[in-house]
A and B are shown apart, each in its own frame.
Chain A
């Protein structure tokens, strides 16, 4: 074990810090859950890409820098510490990108990855359906083969950013009459394709953050299928692993929140009860623990290891940490917690953050499902009935 950063890693950190200091927008962007803010965030994706920071761990041929996971963690620490915007393209770069790299053909890699890294195509994930949430194998939307095309019919829902995104990826039933996780295929489609209707859905915060998608005889070229026909479930499970695992929720993000929370505690120290104080300090510790854990997993992966069902532990921990940190901030703010804009004119980021943090334990596989996975696959407990 060697916890010192190498000179190369330190120089890299410096380079990232300087670039971000010069480029992170001074004005806070409008939320990406609104069209205006979405466009601003896409512009930021392109700005990042212009500095070749779109996705630092990807190979350079696809627009990355070929960096390792420790360097990625350093990048993310700096990214969130600099107050840089949320990534509009996270579904693409963190979920679909790794999926294509693992299961896609060379032609698909060349076609889809570089525009993703450049922020030119923003992706939405279309798995959930009205009757298939936690029980994703209940998917009904169909894709019927017709020559060198698939013809899609059905409905998807709760698709993040689909109100404004360019392309979507999702699972469709390609084998007529198939059941559960059999007969599904993983398809990529242009959200502008004829026959697709998007209906934005207002989320808790009031903005149209995600959308329902209706498919009416939508034609998708067969070459947009990732992996073989009927292999969709296997591919989707790998994508879900990326979603719960390291990539989507880098520790730098929670450490930055913890640092802001500690600053808030200092400002409000006079009002904070000892119990609240201890809550906050403990959450700061948990944010540190999350970082240590991630570095440990990253070091293991770099040495040839892999991450399996442990991703569920990770998902439970970060989502509940995030919610608890924002809840603590609401308490620290006291009566000001209800204000959408604070008296000093700043947006109440804690309130926005708290609302958003409530979704963490629901999406990416609800925490109840993650606890089931932990109990069954990591601890070896029996499956009884559903779940």
Chain B
């Protein structure tokens, strides 16, 4: 029993965080939002860090990491509000293709040359498809209606839900950081507003919520890596809890920004809107709640302290 994150995955995630902080700032989001083209150098950098091949086996030119490492990267994508089509291809499609023994495209995916976005019945709209048809609340999300007869493979759903939950955690962490930073500089009544307890306590509540979502997320990723029968329960727990924490983080952050938060001019709105989008994607809160209730009350999953990890 050792519930610590693997150091190599943590190191890679830290490098990605640094890279995205340096190259993918809010100026990039604003430029894209204004109709500008993608800066392909950003994508190239992600490819060079090996992220497109993160979960691709080394024999096919990838890094051969496990989903736990993938969840750490998805969290960074959320933190940066990444506007590149990395997660659906590299962290959802790849492990699904591998599980089905369809390895033909893996090398091209790892090389960053091929993008795959898989539809699912529960997820009627695919993000980042070509020729966007539907407008998302998230201005940087290009939605395409999924083709008829899309599959309902449960593994695909769990992969989508897990990586959405991870992004939601990263998004929430970034919104908390933005709100803290604003509370330190905005002054009213002669003090930084962050000195007022009403503000402090709101931010503390977000910190508490996140502290108790993260381990649920790691637990879910590891359950999938270990192929546990209870993995869907853990994934649903992560998605449900991450959704609630993300809404709390978003609503607290906008409140703390005051009217400034209600404008298109502060960056916060990009993160908030991605939060709303991902909360509903790959199984909404209600869907995941029902899966948890069925597992927990239906007796399929043993309850009680003796079963924390068994």
Contacts and interface: CB of A to CB of B under 8 A. Distances in A.
Interface string B288-310: 01001100110000011110111
Most chain-A Cβ atoms within 10 A of its Cβ — which of B1, B237, B241, B289? B1
A3 interface: yes
B105 interface: no
Contacts of A354: none
Nearest to A293: B215
Nearest to B286: A278
B201 interface: yes
Interface stretch (A118-126, A199-207, A370-378): A370-378
Given A2-B1, A3-B226, A252 B305 contact: yes
A155 to B, nearest CB: 29
A316 B202 CA distance: 13
A70 interface: yes
A132 interface: no
A361 to B, nearest CB: 12
Interface string A286-326: 10111111011011100100000010111011000000000
Interface stretch (B94-102, B123-131, B161-169, B192-200): B192-200
Interface of A is mostly: helix
Contacts of A46: none
A259 interface: yes
Interface of B is mostly: helix
B201 A285 contact: no
Nearest to A372: B200
Interface stretch (A34-42, A58-66, A75-83, A219-227): A75-83
Q: Which bucket holds chain A's interface residue count?
A: 35 or more
Contacts of B308: 77, 251, 255, 288, 291-292, 295
A1 B2 contact: yes
A178 interface: no
Interface string B268-294: 000000000000000000000100110
Most chain-A Cβ atoms within 10 A of its Cβ — which of B68, B296, B304? B304
A333 interface: no
Interface of B: 1-6, 68, 176, 180, 183-184, 191-192, 194-197, 199-201, 203-205, 207-208, 211-216, 218-219, 222, 226, 237, 240-241, 289, 292-293, 296-297, 303-306, 308-310
